[in-house]
Amino acid sequence: MHMDIDNKLPVHVGFIMDGNGRWAKKRAMPRTFGHKAGAETLRTVIDECRKIGIRYVTCYAFSTENWKRPKEEVTVLMRLFDEYLDEAAARFDKSRMIFIGDKSRFPEGLRDKMLRLEKDTASIDDFTIMLAMNYGGRDEIVRAARALAAKAASGEIDTEDIDEDIFARELYTYPAPDCDFIIRTSGEERLSNFLMWQSAYSEFYFTDTLWPDFGKEELHKALDEYMRRKRRFGGV
Ligand code: IPE
Ligand code: IPE
Ligand code: MG
C-alpha cells in the first residue's frame, strides 16, 4: 500500500443518475420504461451504500431544467416519484430522507409525502439520503444569496460577517458535509447543475454504463478508484 493515497471511503457520495432514456431506447421501449428500471437501480445502490458505511448519498432525480421535457414524460416521472415515496417509508426506515430542491412546484400530494418523510426520519443520523428533486445548483445558490440579503436588510446579520460557512448554512444540503465523490453514468461528463457549491473539491467518476445497468459491482469499482485518488485540497 502506498503511503500517499487516502484509502478512505467517501463520507458523501453524489449520483447523477443518467441514461434511463437511452437504456429504454436500446430496447425499443418508451423512455419511461427506463425510468422505472432506474428506480430499481436506485434502491440497490442506496442499500449497498448504507451497508458499506457511507454516511450521505445525494441522488439527482429531477433537475430544474427537466421540466422542459415532454409533458407525458414529466407526468409519468411524477407518478413514479409518488410510488417511490410510498415505498420509501417502509424500505428506508433506518435512513434519514431529505429532499433538496424547490418543493413548491410539485403536486400537493407529492409535496406532502416529502414533508412527511422528512419529518418522520428527522432523528436518524447514521445514514442520510438526499433526493434532489426540482433541484438546481444555481437556484440553490441564488436562494442562499436572497436569504442572506434579507437577513442583512433586517439587521439580523452584518454583511461583513458573511463568509463561506455562513453561506453554506443557507444551502439545501446543510448541515451535510461537501460531496466527496460524484458518480455520473451514461458517458456524459458534465455537472448539469448538480451540487455546484458542494462539488468544489469533489472527485469525479464517469462511466459509460447507463444508470439502469449500474449496480453493486460497478459501485465498488468506482469506490476502489476513489480510494486510490490523492486529494490535495490545494495543499501539497
Ligand atoms: C436520467 O435519465 C433521469 C432523469 C433525468 C429524470 P435520462 O432521462 O436523462 O436519460 P437519457 O439521458 O435521455 O438517456
Ligand atoms: C441530469 O441529467 C439530471 C438528472 C440526472 C436528474 P440530464 O439528462 O437532465 O442532463 P443533460 O441534459 O444531459 O445535461
Ligand atoms: Mg440524460
Helical ranges in the chain per DSSP H = 20-26, 31-52, 71-91, 108-120, 137-153, 164-168, 216-228
Rounded to whole angstroms, the Cα distance separating 205 from 188 reads 11
What's the CA-to-centroid distance between 65 and ligand 2, angstroms? 8
7 is a catalytic site residue: no
- Ligand in nearest proximity to the CA of 21: 1
Q: What is the pTM of this model?
A: 0.96
123 C-alpha to ligand 2 centroid (Å): 32
Cell of 29: 421501449
Q: What single-letter amino acid sits at 72?
A: E
What pLDDT, in 10s, does the model give residues 141-153?
A: 999 999 999 999 9
Reply yes or no on whether 163 is catalytic.
Answer: no
CA 114 from centroid of its chain's CA atoms: 15
CATH of segment(s) 9-138+179-228: 3.40.1180.10
The whole-angstrom separation of Cα 205 and Cα 220 is 12
pLDDT tens-place string over residues 17-69: 999 999 999 999 999 999 999 999 999 999 999 999 999 999 999 999 999 99
Q: Which atom of ligand 2 is nearest to the CA of 211?
A: 5
Give rounded-to-5 percent helix, strand, coil for the chain.
45, 15, 40
Name the closest-CA residue to atom 14, ligand 2.
Answer: 192
